[in-house]
Amino acid sequence: MTEQRVTAERLVRRFARETNLLVAGRAFAVKGDDAIADELRCLIRALGGHLGDSGVTFVTGETPVIVVDGAPLPARITAEDRVDSAGAHMPVSTLVAARLRDEGLVRGIRIGIAMVLEPKTAQLALLLHDAGAEVAVYAHPDEIDVDVARVLRDRGIPVDGDPALTGAAERAAAIAFLRRGFDLLLDDGSHLIRLAHEEGIAGTLRGAAEETTSGLTPLRVMEREGLLNIPVIAVNDAAMKTSFDNRYGTGQSCVFAIADVLDAAGIGVRDQPAVVIGYGPVGEGVAAHLRALGTEIAVAETDPVRALKAAHDGFRIGPLRDLAPGALVVSATGAPHTVDAATLRAAGIVAVAGGVPGEVDLDPSALIPAGEHLDRAGEGALLIARGGCVNLAAAEGNPIEIMDLSFAVQLGAIEQLLTAGLAPGLHPFPAEADAAIARAALAARGDRIDERSTAQVAAQADWRSPRYRGDQA
């Protein structure tokens, strides 16, 4: 890999790291006629950005500069800076929340948010608070930014959760949060939804919304067994969530976090082949972003359809045991025991994208520190972020614009739970609401889309296929 390519990659990752903004779909200008400028143009295109005369500007030369909105990279030094910066780049959620406020729909409604607490989640809480809801936030001890929690408390929103809690104390804190008495619960991983059922207090809830694939899996089991006693909107399954959050957001944030950690240790992300385990939307995004950085990639997948899709996307496929030796292994399954002890011994480096507890089978006592966010798993692989979700442990989570779309769906789910009269069980997010969020996102970007002609509309409304009409020759 040339020095110019390394510099270009570091510049793009620096932009993403210091702004927490998305590359895909963004306009970039590159000013310069040197090799670094050429590499930047190639990398931006590979990552899904497009080139023009406006937008974020990279100025190459002896000391490259990144310009955002006509000024150098913004200094997001304090937690207040990071929370306010997130709010400035969440136009779609702001629009949906304004409608809830103007309609008075959430005024006085008690809403609990049980999610990873970082600046975008803080903005979701603030938007609901400003719309008139009574909001409180809970975060798992491993998923709470204490400085962001302080900002929320200073702005009138209670935050439960403490990084020091473990075991029974952690569970007690989560139960105490539920006993605050909520009408609605916005969950990530369905931990609080399930806990409310275990504790017999789910009956106080009018409904909930679940954000993740891993959270919906146990809820589907509960529904089949007749144990899900409240209506739950499957936010994760909405196209405006999974198509963007899982693929583009998790793809960029996890791959860039992995590259940052390895770069700090003197290892290039291209220095070894990579294996992506699982080719759902998260795996697709991880593989696409690794490919954009120039990594040689293979995919291990147990689902035959997804495996075939990976093959048609140009990736080598095969059993994990054959692909893992010496490779950068990235688990994208969201399932426990994905990376077993044999894989951990054989792989060169292991990281988890997304993540659930126990996705990597390891003995924490065997970990040997090898740098920031990097440990040696005994005699085996280098392990990034101790096997936790790499974009949260070693970065700031998904890009702001991506979470704007996901939280717009959460806000839309609140509207459905309060107005649709849903029965207990899992419910899809309505397609028409999904489309409305997409239109709002396009409008915020200043983009226009095509429209069907009158003839096309009329032809679609006619159920008779021209192929089988009697007047056809």
The answer to whether 395 and 260 are in contact (CB under 8 A) is yes
Taking 80 as the threshold, does the pLDDT of residue 249 lie above it? yes
Judged on CB neighbours under 10 Å (0-12, 13-18, 19+), 143 is buried
Q: What is the pLDDT of residues 224-247, one digit of tens each?
A: 999 999 999 999 999 999 999 999
Q: Which residue has the tokens 């029965």?
A: 423
Q: If we measure between CA atoms, which residue out of 165, 90, 49, 58 comes closest to residue 410?
A: 90
d(CA 220, CA 120): 28
Q: Does the pLDDT at position 470 exceed 70? A: no
Tokens representing 377 are 């798993």
**What's the pTM?**
0.93
Query: Is the pLDDT score of 473 beyond 50?
Result: no
pLDDT band for 457, please (50, 70, 90 cuts).
confident
1-5, 209-213, 346-350, 444-448: segment of lowest average pLDDT: 1-5
DSSP strand pairing (110-114 vs 159-160): unpaired
Q: Which of 374 and 354 is assigned the larger pLDDT?
A: 374
Beta bridge partners of 60: none
Q: What is the DSSP letter of 247?
A: I
Q: At residue 469, does pLDDT exceed 60?
A: no
- CA pair distance 119, 148, nearest whole angstrom: 6
Q: What is the pLDDT of residue 77?
A: 84
Q: Cβ(293)–Cβ(257) under 8 Å?
A: no
Which tens digits make up the pLDDT trace of 115-173? 999 999 999 999 999 999 999 999 999 899 999 999 999 999 999 999 999 999 999 99
Q: Is 68 helix (H, G, I), strand (E, B) or coil?
A: strand
Sign of CA dihedral 283, 288, 292, 298: positive
The mean pLDDT of 432-438, rounded to a whole number, is 96
The CB density around residue 419, as the number of other CB atoms within 10 Å, is 10
For residue 96, what are the CA distances in angstroms to 238, 243, 438? 16, 19, 12
| Average pLDDT taken over every residue of the chain | 94
As a whole number of Å, the end-to-end CA separation of the chain is 62
> If you average pLDDT over residues 87-94, what whole number do you get?
97
Say whether pLDDT at 472 is over 90. no
pLDDT in tens, 166-218: 999 999 999 999 999 999 999 999 999 999 999 999 999 999 999 998 899 99
Distance CA 109, CA 142 (A): 28
Q: What is the pLDDT of residue 73?
A: 84
Neighbours of 282 (CB within 10 A): 27
Average pLDDT over residues 426-454: 95
